[in-house]
Amino acid sequence: MLDVSFFGAILGGLIVFFSPCVLPIVPFYLSYMAGASMSEISEDGALAPGVQRRAFLASIMFSLGIITVFVLMGAAAWGLSQAFRGVQTEFRLVAALIVFIMGLHFLGVLHISFLNRVFQLDAGETKGMSVLGAYVVGFAFAAGWTPCVGGVLTAVIFTASTESTALEGLWLLLVFGAAMTAPFVIASLFIAPFLRFAARFRKHLPLVEKAMGLLLIVFAVLIATDSVNYIAQWMLETFPVFQSI
């Protein structure tokens, strides 16, 4: 049976992808890694030969780079939580405070300038990235600590740090990373339709940002009151379908 936190990690990853500081830059990342100009991949007609194949392969390696960072961070958090087992309460409250502050940031109540840092690519011409190059860019993107990744990632990392074994914690971060990057890989297979979707969805980004802020605040309260497990148990009892998965 899969723990409810598994589904929470999937939801968190998807929310991050469709957030204001990730979705708008996806077309530029696809363009950069495929070795095509924005005008080439923005056309409704057929793409230039090799563009979609390069975009697909690069998106997979880019995603693996991101997931690698998340898993390493999860391993470090789980190790720290075990090393400081005697101060679990303080550890939980600090994590709750961080998530709460990030929630206020998304709601616009607080403005924290360093959280607005976004990893940028050099906009120069390129003939496509190597497999290793795409992996390195993904690694650097995840390590760049964009605000949308940071808020949800903190909540997921804390949840992973409280799992009973390191493997369970790593699995949770792997699921989160896969959920966040899977739409990116899919977008590389359907570049033109995705660009049209992204253009239409742009008007909803402020709403997504506010919803993320509210979710982070709710999760911060659950962490602070040590109620995450109770919510998970309630969901299992209310929705028995989770017990059969």
| Cα 30 to Cα 16, 70, 116, 157, 191, distances in angstroms | 17, 21, 22, 28, 8
Please give the backbone phi and psi of residue 210, each rounded to the nearest 5 degrees, phi first: -65, -40
What is the average pLDDT across 199-221? 83
Residue 182 pLDDT > 80: yes
The confidence band for 57, taking pLDDT boundaries of 50, 70 and 90, is confident
| Chain segment 88-135, per-residue pLDDT in tens | 777 778 878 888 988 888 788 887 765 555 555 554 444 556 667 888
| pTM of the model as a whole | 0.74
Question: Which range is most confident: 4-13, 118-127, 168-177?
Answer: 168-177
Residue 221 pLDDT > 90: no
| Chain segment 70-82, per-residue pLDDT in tens | 888 888 878 777 7
The confidence band for 214, taking pLDDT boundaries of 50, 70 and 90, is confident
What is the C-alpha separation between 77 and 110, in angstroms, rounded? 26
Q: What type of residue is 214?
A: L
Q: Which residue has the higher pLDDT, 219 or 236?
A: 219
Q: Strand locations in the chain, DSSP E?
A: none
| Chain segment 33-52, per-residue pLDDT in tens | 766 555 555 555 456 666 77
